[in-house]
Structure 1
Amino acid sequence: MLWGLVAVLVIGALVAAQLLRPLPAPKLQLSAPTSYTFTGAPVALPWPTKGQAAAEVIGLGPLGSSGPDHHPVPIASVTKVMTAYLVLQKHPLKRGESGPTITVDKAAAQEANDPDQSSAKVVEGQQLSEYEALELLMLPSANNIARLLARWDAAGSEQDFVKQMNQQAAAFGMADTTYADPAGYNFTGTKSTAKDQLKLGEQVMANEVFREIVSEKSTIIANNVIKNTNELIDPKTGVIGVKTGSSNPSLSCLMWAATKEVGGTQQLLLGVTLGQPTTATDDIIKAAQTVSSKIITAGQSAVTGKTLVKQGEQVGSVSDGLGGQVPLVAAKDLVVPGFTGIATTVAYQPSGSLGHTAAAGTQVGVLTAGSGPGQVQVPVVLQRDLAPPSIMSRLTRLG
């Protein structure tokens, strides 16, 4: 009888020890695909036979280019993209803000009447907000406002501002770019390439105020209707900017931006077209727009989506460490964007530490594909309730 009592006490102690042992931390195991490469015929865009052009999808990769590499050419008013970038970097605006007031000086007022260059009709002493000045810079391509902004930013010195333009270009790796003025009117000094300007476009299109301004078809300033020289802008086609440029030395130029919806995300296509000659139907402002429109349409068609995981499909599991498992599923379709030759990686980021108890539908992490503004993110959730291991599994655990 004594030995029986001892056995009961020993067994009781073992049971208590097993039940009181700390539970192992839940472990996640993933089965979702980690990459995908788009296959098919190579992307063939309708590149111009003259001048130069380049295009890309932000976060995905280049769509291609045409024309000579490392051959700087005059870019006319495309120059103003760098001017706008620097102004917004040093005097940042949030959406809905108008910014500080800028007073039109004598030089800007006098240049408003110069028939040989594009300008905004302003008078000395007129008050403009920073936002309005940027609209006048980008939409009608006002040279006098470009110089006014340079003087306003650099304490009256246009040359100091130009120095900053070149410093910023160097920082962006624009090795074939030289700025000699803030407007692009210095045709012999201000030169660049399509690929260099594409690097600038990537940076400036990250600014939501800049994107808002360049996507305007028109605006009203001082009771005057100001129209955008970029006639391609249209929500229906997805074209949202960016800047025209034209002169006899530069011919017709355009930095453009357009979107393509893929799996609920907006993919941003960006391109630069330089040195386009006039035609029987297109003047010096419109020639680059016609060429670019064809590139945009073909580029949008080339960008597609691949569904790697469907909503509700298992992408992994959570193990309680004692033999129990709960499936992990995608909360929505994982559609990755891309085009032929592009390899997309899929990564998993946990949402935080996971306890031993959680309800079905609890988010435990995120599957992320791609990078940049068109990055795709899909929540990963528990398919059913996560509960602590059963008493039997805890009693029989060996490890």
Structure 2
Amino acid sequence: MKNLKNIFFSLLVLMSTTMMAQQTPAGKQKGSILITGATAHLGNGQTIENSAIGFDNGKLTYVGTLAQADRNSFSRVIDASGKHVYPGFIAGNTTLGLVEVDAIRATDDDAEIGGIIPHVRSLIAYNAESKVVESMRPNGVLMAQITPQGGRISGTSSVVQFDAWNWEDAAVKADDGIHMNWPNSFTRGRWWLGEDPRLVPSKNYSEQVEEVVSFIREARAYLKGSQSPRNLPYEAVKGLFDGTQRLYVHVNGEKEIVDAVNFTKENGIQKLVIIGGDEAHKVADLLANNNVSVMISRPHRLPNKEDDNVKHPFNLAKLLMDKGVVVGIEMNGRMNRQESRNLPFFAGSFAAYGIGKEDAVKMISGNAAKILGIDDIAGTLEKGKDATLFISEGDALDMRTNIVSHAFIQGREVSLETHQTKLWKRYSQKFGDK
């Protein structure tokens, strides 16, 4: 009887694990594929009507008009007449795969203890079988930057794709950059202690900035010296000085952004990306002249300051693009993992407030790839790049028409079935019977 109970318990655990796991990743692409007749949105601001998109062995081999394509050279043809083809959308600055259920501490791995911990790598904590990650694909979100949080220097992010057995398979670009939370020059008083709750200049701002400056200077000295005894935090920032990594500075205020730009220039840091950048439009010329990109926050929010235009979060993309700044979208905020599936609709909101529709597509494809340093293999539909793309029945930036029929990651056709789609089918049948 005891053995029977043990067997039953083991089967129950196995069944629950299977139900919780993501679908088995797709096998390697077998045979060449040609998508015909669709409007192709290339991710660089251009479109091709009545297009043909061909790929083999996971790489794009033809991008052009259907009239010039050789159908006979492809083993499978997908008729997408009247539909749209897009490069896979890329979510920036998200904790996808690092937390599954917020209320269950054992599934929460988005932050480590410590103030300056650049050697903490988010990639090794990434859960490729996350059910939340799985739910991105039906909206065309096929890649993301997985980012640690907390502290002054949070750690190192990585770029992953959403069809993998484990984090090693998922990695598109491992350790793409270091994330720093820049100090705030203003602070609010703690009203519960009787302090003035209004914004006042922070007395600790200079001291907090000096803490970061000292660390970077010490790291540079360490890397030029004998590197003994070994110091992992110093070693982790080596890529900032040789250009192999980016410094992602999470900052919103005008003064703080200027200080961050000057800080990188003075310390030999080659590549800077601003995350958030709520007041970046005030110093857009400085950013453009120094090739500093900005990943702006989601538009569906209130302004950070009480006297800002209530539409400012929606207008920010246009204000920066008009000055020549490369702009993407970052996903930090409440429910950032679940909200990441709405990435294309956030881009659509920016399109409704001044930027062109194809510029909005660029924000989450070509621009995102450029900002993350993967534009040589992803982000646009160009011959030689990874065949990471999807077919939508309509405009992918509109939640009413973004109905994805096919999705491919590095040439592999991936499942679009998720926990949410199963529930939708189940309850649509229930109400459809009445």
Q: TM-score range by the shorter chain?
A: under 0.3
TM-score calculated relative to the size of structure 2: 0.25
- Structure showing greater Rg: 1
Larger strand proportion, structure 1 or 2? 1
TM-score calculated relative to the size of structure 1: 0.27
